[in-house]
Structure formats: C-alpha cells, structure tokens
Structure 1
Amino acid sequence: MIIKKVEDDGTCFAECKEIQASANRQYDLKNVKTKLLNINNTNIQYVCNESLLDILKSNQDLSEDSILKAEEKHSDLLPAVYEGGLKIWECTYDLLDYLSENQVDFKDKSVLDLGCGAGILGIYSLLHQARCCWFQDYNQDVIDNITIPNIELNCKESLDRCRFFSGDWHSFVDLSEKNYPGKKFDYILSSETIYNTGYYKKLHLVFEKLLAKNGVVLLAAKSFYFGVGGGVHLYQDFMDSQKVLKHTSCWQSTEGVKREILKLEFL
C-alpha cells in the first residue's frame, strides 16, 4: 500500500518506506525476457520492458500498478504517481561509460543509486566490489518488478549488501536518519533526476544529509529538459545559491542532445 502525504502547497507525495527483497514481485523471473548490456567487458543483464509490460497487463489484480498507469497514458512521467523508472534513460549509459573509462574505484565503498529505476548504476558498483548499495526510486512497483529482479539476474549473492527504498526524497532522508542514524555514502550515483525544478530542494537535501564528508556525487543529466523545465545549468544555479556543494562538469556530449556529467563535492 502506498501512503500519500500532502505538502504545505497542497501537492501529494509518496511517503518513503523500505522494501524487502523478493516480497512483492508480481511474476516469476523465469517467465520474463531479458536483455544484455556490455560496458567494457562488464556484462549487465536486465528485464526487457516489453516482456514485463505483457506480464503485468495479464494480471487482473494490478489495475493500480503505477507502471501500467503510465503505459496506458503513453507517458514516461506522471508527477507524484510514476517518475520514469521503467526506462533506462540516455544519461545512464553516459554515466556507465564514464565509470568504466575512468576506472572509478568502488571497492569497499558505500553507494547510493538515487532514482535508480532499473538499478543499472548500483549493479555496476556491486559488480565492482562495492561494500554495500542502497537503491531508491519513487515507485515501489519499479523496485519490486524491475530493480530487485535485475540484481537477482546479475549478483544475487549481493542482495544481503543491498537495501531498497521507495518514495519521496525528503521522506527518504527522514527515514534514513531515523532508522540508520549516521549512514553516509562514499558515492551517490544519479541519472536524469534534475528534470523538474520543483524537486531540486529535496534532491539537494539528500546530497547534503547522506553524502560522506569526502564523498562524491556523480550526476548525469541533459543540459535542458524541453517541456519539463529543468536541466544542468538550472541545477548548478540552485547549488550555488545553497552554498553547500561545489560542482565540476567532468564530461559533455559531443553530438545529439547536449548532456553532461557533474561531479559534486562538499565545499
């Protein structure tokens, strides 16, 4: 059951909760088709979207599933309902390539895959010996039916080093500080999470409260999100106004839609 709360401005949000692995998946993993992603000899297997949708559509008990609601409306985003977790977004591939090409060292590091969707970034860190990884996405349906299955496909033996959370970012910080006081992350990995300027304050709160003192945020995003309003430069301006984090553009695309990877650290 998703518990919704209301902000002071009247907007609703899903309260964060921790999710137990294997408790809520709506299908047998053996019945879903998968695809393979190769990042410089690191192979990551993941659930095929089309196959998953076919399975979910065949289940008459899932009329309230947020993934199906978005599919019915042919939308990648339904604010405060579904935030795009089914799709592996373009900037995720950018960040994977960056991690590989720069040989980012995850050995014995604590990692947060924020806005994880399919969980590909966190899975990559686990395959490269991260000590632990937390996965957070707005939608529990995404965590149950996509994120956790993908971890089982790639590194099932690492499940005991993972924790899973669904819901709003501010609520996620509150839950983390209550249930895991002092928990900090060496790396926070996040892709395509700055498309909505209305979320900037909450996103910044996660970085401020959960990043280790000498930790690093790697944030991949488009320079501008047409039709939504956010983008890299707007988020840089927001960070500058907060005077908590410094930011460096460590990669930019050379073709197509302009995309960047930002490295964030405490001032």
Structure 2
Amino acid sequence: MSTFKFDFDLEDDLDEEVTNILGTANALSQNATPGVIPESAHEPFAEVPLQTLLDALPDNISYSPVSIPLSSGKPAVSLARRDLFDARLQLIAADEREDALEFLETPSDLVPCVYEGGLKTWECSIDLADYLDTLMGERGGDWVKGKAILEVGCGTAVPSIFLLHRLFAALAAGPSQLPKDTYVHLQDYNRSVLELITLPNIIIAWYMSPLSAAYRASTPPSTSEPPTSTPTADSDAGAGAEAEADPSVAGELDFSPSLRAAFQASLTKHHIYLRFFTGAWDSFSVDKTLGLGKRYDVVLTSETIYRSESLPALLRVLREASCGAGEEDIAARAANLSLEDTRYVCLVAAKVLYFGVGGGVEEFVDAVQAGEKGTVETVWERNVGVGRKVMKVMWR
C-alpha cells in the first residue's frame, strides 16, 4: 500500500513542522496491489465515548494560534489548537502507543487505510471556516444553535471549532428564550487523532470562550494546583471574572479534573452534545449516530476527496447525513421537484487537484452528478497557486 506526499506547499502557520506525520505501514505495503484497498484493511466504524477521550487527556498541553482570514473584510479570527510536538511528547511519555508514535515520525502525509492525514491542519479547513463566517453573517451568529452538525474526516476540526467558537460567544451573550439541543458529531478514521488533537482543540476553544470565565477566574493560569473553588458550570460568567482568554497568543493549559468537570457541566447546561466516531466511511451509519430516520442540518468535510477509491463511500455518507437513509427519505427526495433542499447545508472544501493521488474537484463533481444524485455549486474559490474551492452540494 502506497504512502502519499502531496506536492504543494502549506501556509506557514499550518504545522510546517509536521509535514512528516504518520505511518510506515510497511507490512501492508509489501503485500498490497497498487490502487487497490482490501476491504479487510478498513478500520470498522465505532463510537468513542466522550468520557473515554477525556480520560485519555494528558495533565497539561501546549497550544498555538491558527489565523482564519475572513473574506467579509472583518478582522481575522484566531483559534487556538494543540501543538503537534506536544502530542508527540505525550506519546513518548506514555510509551504505549508505538504505532501512533511511528506515525508522527514517518515522511508521508497519508497512508491509505492506516492514517488519513488528520493530525495536520490543512488549508481547505481554513477556507471552510471562512465560508462559514459568511454563512453565519447571513443567518445570524447563533445560527447553529439547535442544529445537528456532522464533520466528516474532521482531523483538527477547524470548521467545527469555528462554529463552536461563535456558538459559545452567542450563548454567553445571553440565554435564549427556550433551550435548544445542539449536536456536534465528529468523525475521523483514526482514533488517535480524536484523542490527541480533536477533543483537546474543542476543550481549548471552550476555555478561550466567555463560557469559561467563571472557571478561569477561579483558577490561576498554567498551574497544576487545584483552584480555591470549582464552578461546575458558567452561571457566574462575567461576575468578577478575568478578561476573556486570548487565542492569538501561544500558551499552556492544565487539563485538571476541575477543568474537565467545568467543561462537561457547561456543555450540559447549554444543551451541547458531543459525540465522536472513528473508522472507515464504508460502515458509517447515520442511523447509529443520530437515530433511525434522522438527518443532520449541517454536514461539513474538507480535504477528503483526494482519493478516487474512497469517493463512493464518502458520497454515501454525505448524502445520507444530509437527507436521511430510509426508503421514505429517498422517495421524498425523488418526488421533490425542487433541486435544493433548504433543510440542510452540505459543504465540501477541497483543492482543485491532488497531485500524485488522482482525486480532485472535477472528479468529485462528476461523481455527484452521475445518476442525477445531485448538483454542486462553488460558493468560495481561490485561484492562486494550487486552486481551492468550497462547494455546496445539493442532493436530489
């Protein structure tokens, strides 16, 4: 099985130090047919409980900012995300995840069916966050409140974290008249990515938001000592609390038991429900993630169309997540004369062409339109260097 190194330069703030990421997979490579991925090689679909991921967190992490330039002309948004070298140090200290540590030291961007690039922040995830800002400008900052959101192939989860960043701010600004349940579901092929990067980034986003003000006021920064008082939620946010944390400045954060408890209590108070899923798209089931006959309101994915072999499975997941998987849902779509179903938003961010791998925008659009499954509209585009697009998919 081949490893791939994408032939283009990443922006300076996108983890240049970790272009050498995951996976030798030498044993698989020796016996694999080029371009063919055996079914047995796929990781099975599974849920990883939030508590399990919380229990796997280290005592302390370091983080640094990633900047989201906005096409709207507003100032760029800074999001804090865990440093990759810090994740590597965690693995070295644990001395029990040799496979994941191997991944961090091997010069490849992805190894099919072994590692799919999730530890790295890719340009198109930044592009997707930019377009989400435009969308929220049209629909309101609290647009995602009460929505069911799925990010497919989430990795560092920049788009989801951007939405949570805005949602946390809106919730802190004032309670809504009626509480609404918000579901944020994140899927990545590799469980290690969810443990090392995805959940830590979400917790950092909460910590940097006004929702954590009461906790931050009671706890000195970067200390392992327990706070003098431990708020279980953010009901006292703003009452004598310190100024909002600054995600544009690198720093460290203690993942103390009190922080984990405050984070969970805040999610519960604001009816935010996080779930995490791992494994291949072939076995991903919307019925298992949301429930029988249900669908997502917002479906996001970025940098996931690079390999032709995985497109059918990805399209199935995106379509079923957006429209539902049951026979009644399919019949309703077939009877609907209107092409665009405004009940959902399905966004795909990608490079125009992935050199050396074979995938790209043209092949993706052709696959969506084949058999009249749907149409694709470009809603965001950059033509400098390697072209990049954000596309809205409208399923039939």
TM-score between both structures, scaled by the size of structure 1: 0.87
Give the equivalent residue in structure 2 for 1:190: 301
User: Are the equivalent residues in 2 in contact too, given 1:29–1:149 (CA < 8 A)?
Assistant: no
Q: With CA pairs under 8 Å and 6+ residues apart, which has the higher RCO, 1 or 2?
A: 2
Partners of 1:62 and 1:71 lie apart in 2 by: 11
Structure 1 gaps of 5+ residues are 1-6
Matched, 1:44 2:155: no
Matched, 1:61 2:111: no
Give the equivalent residue in structure 2 for 1:3: none
User: Are the equivalent residues in 2 in contact too, given 1:21–1:144 (CA < 8 A)?
Assistant: no
Q: Which amino acid aligns with 2:287?
A: E
Structure 1 or 2: larger strand share? 1
Give the equivalent residue in structure 2 for 1:4: none
Matched, 1:210 2:245: no
Partners of 1:207 and 1:37 lie apart in 2 by: 27
Partners of 2:307 and 2:197 lie apart in 1 by: 23
The equivalent position to 1:83 in structure 2, one of 102, 116, 125, is 116
Partners of 1:96 and 1:10 lie apart in 2 by: 33
1:62-211 alignment, distance < 5 Å: 62-65=97-100, 68-102=101-135, 103=137, 105-129=143-167, 131-155=182-206, 156=263, 157-158=266-267, 160-173=272-285, 176-178=286-288, 180-211=291-322
The equivalent position to 1:240 in structure 2, one of 369, 379, 396, is 369
User: Are the equivalent residues in 2 in contact too, given 1:70–1:78 (CA < 8 A)?
Assistant: no
User: Are the equivalent residues in 2 in contact too, given 1:111–1:188 (CA < 8 A)?
Assistant: yes
* Structure (1 or 2) with the larger CA radius of gyration: 2
Q: Which amino acid aligns with 1:158?
A: L
SS in 2 for 1:162: strand
Partners of 1:190 and 1:89 lie apart in 2 by: 12
SS in 2 for 1:56: helix
Partners of 1:161 and 1:122 lie apart in 2 by: 13
Q: Deviations over 1:89-120 (max 9, x none)?
A: 01111111111134263232211111000122
User: Are the equivalent residues in 1 in contact too, given 2:58–2:90 (CA < 8 A)?
Assistant: no
Partners of 2:92 and 2:146 lie apart in 1 by: 40
User: Are the equivalent residues in 1 in contact too, given 2:126–2:158 (CA < 8 A)?
Assistant: no
Matched, 1:28 2:58: yes
User: Are the equivalent residues in 2 in contact too, given 1:111–1:125 (CA < 8 A)?
Assistant: no
Shift of 1:27: 4.5
Provide closer, same or farther for how the CA distance between residues 259 and 34 of structure 1 changes in structure 2, counting only shifts above 3 A: same
Structure 2 gaps of 5+ residues are 1-35, 69-74, 168-180, 207-262, 324-340
Partners of 1:137 and 1:234 lie apart in 2 by: 22
SS in 2 for 1:64: helix
SS in 2 for 1:133: strand
Question: Percent identity at matched positions?
Answer: 31
Give the equivalent residue in structure 1 for 2:358: 229
SS in 1 for 2:109: coil
Provide closer, same or farther for how the CA distance between residues 61 and 8 of structure 1 changes in structure 2, counting only shifts above 3 A: closer
Matched, 1:256 2:385: yes
Partners of 1:10 and 1:131 lie apart in 2 by: 34
User: Are the equivalent residues in 1 in contact too, given 2:349–2:389 (CA < 8 A)?
Assistant: yes
Provide closer, same or farther for how the CA distance between residues 29 and 247 of structure 1 changes in structure 2, counting only shifts above 3 A: farther
Provide closer, same or farther for how the CA distance between residues 255 and 117 of structure 1 changes in structure 2, counting only shifts above 3 A: same
Partners of 2:193 and 2:98 lie apart in 1 by: 15
Provide closer, same or farther for how the CA distance between residues 132 and 193 of structure 1 changes in structure 2, counting only shifts above 3 A: same
Provide closer, same or farther for how the CA distance between residues 242 and 9 of structure 1 changes in structure 2, counting only shifts above 3 A: farther
RMSD: 2.2
User: Are the equivalent residues in 2 in contact too, given 1:70–1:77 (CA < 8 A)?
Assistant: no
Partners of 1:163 and 1:9 lie apart in 2 by: 28
Q: Deviations over 1:180-237 (max 9, x none)?
A: 2123111111100000010010001112211145312111000100011100011101
Partners of 1:125 and 1:71 lie apart in 2 by: 28
Between the two proteins, the alignment pairs up a number of residues equal to: 256
Shift of 1:9: 5.1
SS in 2 for 1:37: strand
Partners of 1:142 and 1:242 lie apart in 2 by: 35
Shift of 1:126: 2.3
